Amino acid sequence: MYKIAIVPGDGIGKEVMKAALHVLEALNIDLEYEFGEAGDECKEKTGEALPQKTIDIVKKADACLFGAAGETAADVIVRLRQEMELFANLRPVKSYPGTKALFNDLDFMIVRENTEGMYVGEEELSEDGNTAIAKRIITRSASERICNYAFQYAKDNNKKKVTGVHKANVLKKTDGLFKRVFYEIAEKYNAEGIEAEDFYVDATAMYLLTRPQSFEVIVTTNLFGDILSDEGAGLVGGLGMIPSANIGENGGLFEPVHGSAPDIAGEGIANPTAMLLSVVMMLNYLGEKESAKLLDKAILEVLAEAKTVTSDLGGNSNTMEMADAIKKRING
């Protein structure tokens, strides 16, 4: 039995989580759920966006499924990553049929360092309010950890190339360190036949539009990874199609990246695909490879058929109708 922490959060997070739990019923896996509160509504009710009780639930679980948070997202998801030391953020960029993907042949992974960089939150404002300073922290230990993860991911998933992304020509000390570490780690994988290359982040942004098929695994720092991941989402139909995983030495948290979408929350029309693909990533993390393949295949079939999909995918079905169609595919 696996213990799974369920944190629906705000807005459409609750709706896509309900859809995910509905679909999970069709898989032959023994799962025990424990629910935790977090997000805007939780803060309104309890005074805290992320109560200690929820942190404890997540830490005790084998994995966590997270829905979405609104204005308190930084207080919730960033803190959870830090509390659990979830150092690797994985954002797959994969083309699925029946979507608004700009290319139909993409399948690469963005591996983003999750614990430092610009997102350490160390900022200060001058007394006159006219100057703001943010600290960017890059360490050897975190760079080694994330680069090792990216190259090992490439090896484990039959990828032949890892691209390091930085801005070492301008950020000479911080990104200079990241680039050096990247190539130090790359040397260890030469014998595995894994190629290493590096690009500046601005060039990478262009290449994602002009030749995205050339990428297999991208590894980069926190802020750059955040930005490039959303560009990747635009290549394959938008944020409603992109799952993510946050992985640490002792835990994993899986979430769609689309946010709480307050403009459509409560209407029941949210696309559940990103949430369900996050479930696929969770199942792979737990070692339930066959169930992950079964769910991924069911999602692909429903998208390809394009009969029972939400309005953003060109259909007229609601969230639970699409989820039910996927569940029926699993059941055969």
Look up residue 115 and give its DSSP letter. S
Q: Render 306-329 in DSSP notation, one character per residue.
A: -SS--GGGT----HHHHHHHHHHH
The catalytic residue among 160, 173, 188, 202 is 202
**75 catalytically annotated:** no
* Two structure tokens written together for 1: 């039995």
**119 catalytically annotated:** yes
Alpha-carbon span 188 to 204, nearest angstrom: 24
The catalytic residue among 119, 153, 189, 285 is 119
The catalytic residue among 10, 40, 198, 226 is 226
Cβ partners under 8 Å of residue 47, min gap 6: none
Task: Output the CA torsion sign for 59, 230, 307, 314.
Answer: positive
The catalytic residue among 167, 285, 312, 327 is 167
**167 catalytically annotated:** yes
Question: Which residue has tokens 């484990």?
Answer: 156
The catalytic residue among 59, 230, 297, 328 is 230
- Residue type at position 239: L
Q: Which of 327, 318, 107, 75 is closest to 213 using CA atoms?
A: 107
**226 catalytically annotated:** yes
Give the residue numbers annotated as catalytic, written as ranges: 119, 167, 202, 226, 230
